[in-house]
Structure 1
Amino acid sequence: MAATAASYTPRPDEPLPHQLLSALAQHRMATTSQLHDLLRPNAARQTVSTPLNKLRQKGLVDYTVLPQSNRTRAWYLTGEGARLTRDFPALRGRPPYPINSATAASLKTPHTLTVVRAHLAFAADARRLGHEHGPWDWTPEVSHPLGEGERLVADAVMHYTVIDGQHRRKLRAFVEVDRTTMSSERLAVKLIDYARLFQYEAQPVGRRRPTSTGPAWLKWYPLFPRLLFVLTGASRPRLGNRISDLQAMVAQHPLVAALAREVQLGAAVLEDIEHLGPSGSVWAPLVGGELCPWTDL
């Protein structure tokens, strides 16, 4: 029987095949192990691999084999899978990103899977601490206007709720994942883009005179999200130098310094947040100071 959008629309009990399709639509790509850790961390691996293979037989997902990985599969939606997920409630408003071939998938794989690694570290920490942060609380590739046709695309926007007894503390963060594939200067320049977003005010169409409507980011966030840089892909000394360059940009650039007075900024090494958890004292405040949990920046 041909698959239809209705047959794959998630029901309140959210069957696992629907969750797998939603997770791939949300994250663009993930390995079998990553999908297991994200959706069924306490179940057997076959719990995830069996429905994935059935979805592939239906032409909704496909995979590329990672090089030098003991044939690890990185899964992604086909064009048909992307079309079916477009109306899923958790994904409304998110543009589909179908991948048309294993070759195209392989070009996106390293960065996309590293962003998923960062998400899994936060998700595992939240489960351990009893906080609220699930598969749909991490949205990759979120675009924001900067004016004059320019846009800032955050690697991810994270929503996270800290639970402390009866107290709930809602936090949001922009997450930038750096695999040391660009120069340290280009990485630090991202801070300028976020400072521009913090100050950018859109002008209503048709107004002849500038009229303040408040910062454009208020359209999406009640408070400007904190900014977290997650670094990997190089030696400890080199990663330390990149963090120092981020701190220097905060100290030296007036727009970024203004951002830092209002917004929490931090950087950490991916392997540290995987080993000790994001709630460990692994984050370097970009304004300087001792390492701390990301919630204490």
Structure 2
Amino acid sequence: MTRSLSGVPAAEPAPSPAEPLRLQVLTALSLHRMATTGQLLQMLRPDSPRQLLSRVLNKLRSAGLVDLTPLQEPDRSRTHAWYLTPDGARLTRDLPLLRGRPPYPITSTTAASLKTPHTLCVVRAHLPFATDARRLGHEHGPWDWTPEVAHSIGEGERLVADAVLHYTHVDGEHRRKLRAFVEVDRTTMSSERLAVKLIDYARLFQYEAQPVGRRRTASTGPAWLRWYPVFPRILFILTGASRARLEDRISDLQAMTTQHPHVATLAREVPLGAAILQDIEQHGPTAPIWVPLTGGDPRPWTNL
């Protein structure tokens, strides 16, 4: 049975202690697909005790709105990943924050377990940006990181970014709005397949949609202008292998940037960078740990 949200205020752009935590949890799980208790705590209530969130999650589970799947790692046998049930997904689909987002319901523990490793890694990549923003007084919260964003690149093909990041860098009265496509690489594909993603982004950069059934008319500009005032920078976040192997994969991304003509054109207009996830977690994303794919010394992602 679909449950009512009567009496619950609509979600705001960022969590507020005045907003019901249960609604924040449902919204976060709908947007991010899945998360552990620890990830939700860091995302929504970083200064609160874990028991607070555990109580809310258990009540939502008793109400049939969320469920959990155990993680498979031997050293994390007591950790679970939470996700929305079909009832929970129906409950959240009309929230203003989520309106227009395609539903990605998970209907069983088996389906959840198949999505767990990559989905949790994408959430893991998001959390240091939120922590850094709080520390520095910038603006970036749980709702400023949208996973699985798809765009047409022509010929019936789509590019699906692991996430799109929205971030406002605040320096006194100066506000600088930054956006980024984020690709999270767990070393589960070949280095060449990873580097080919740059070609897809170059196609998106150049793609101009044409109305169906009409002759080609004067250009109205690239299709991406429908969503972004400037083309988002592209960030590759790598994990899942030794540092030497991850550095080799970054080198392959740099080689694609210089050798492929369309990617080289993209790189002249769009900042491209790569970093190792463990470095991001240890030092923060604004540390000089991002390797520019066009070459040069490592730097903060905001200065690529």
The TM-score bracket by the shorter chain reads over 0.9
Structure 2 residue aligned with 1:227, among 220, 225, 234?
234
- What do residues 135-172 of structure 1 show as CA deviations (whole Å, max 9, x unaligned)? 10000000000112100000000000000011000000
The percent identity for this pair of structures is: 72
Distance 1:143 1:263, change over 3 A: same
Distance 1:77 1:26 in 2: 10
1:271 aligned partner: 278
1:100 match: secondary structure: coil
Distance 1:294 1:2, change over 3 A: closer
2:15 aligned partner: none
1:42 is aligned to 2:47: yes
Distance 2:5 2:53 in 1: 21
Distance 1:129 1:117 in 2: 19
**Aligned residues of 2:29 and 2:83 also touching (Cα < 8 A):** yes
1:183 is aligned to 2:190: yes
1:64 is aligned to 2:69: yes
Distance 2:260 2:80 in 1: 43
- What do residues 158-200 of structure 1 show as CA deviations (whole Å, max 9, x unaligned)? 0000000110000000000000000000000000000000000
1:93 aligned partner: 100
Root-mean-square deviation (CA, aligned residues, Å) is 1.3
Distance 1:97 1:2, change over 3 A: closer
**Count of aligned pairs between the two proteins:** 297
2:24 aligned partner: 19
Distance 1:130 1:201 in 2: 38
Larger deviation: 198-207 or 229-238? 198-207
1:118 match: secondary structure: helix
1:134 is aligned to 2:141: yes
Distance 1:55 1:117 in 2: 23
Distance 2:123 2:246 in 1: 20
2:211 match: secondary structure: coil
Distance 1:100 1:233 in 2: 28
Distance 1:199 1:145 in 2: 11
Listed as ranges, the gaps of 5+ residues in structure 1 are none
Displacement, 1:205?
2.6
Matches within 5 A, 1:1-297: 3-6=3-6, 10=10, 13-67=18-72, 68=74, 69-297=76-304
1:6 match: secondary structure: coil
Listed as ranges, the gaps of 5+ residues in structure 2 are 13-17
Displacement, 1:9?
5.5
Larger deviation: 92-101 or 76-85? 92-101
Larger deviation: 8-17 or 32-41? 8-17
Displacement, 1:206?
2.9
**Aligned residues of 1:61 and 1:78 also touching (Cα < 8 A):** yes
Structure 2 length normalisation: TM-score? 0.95
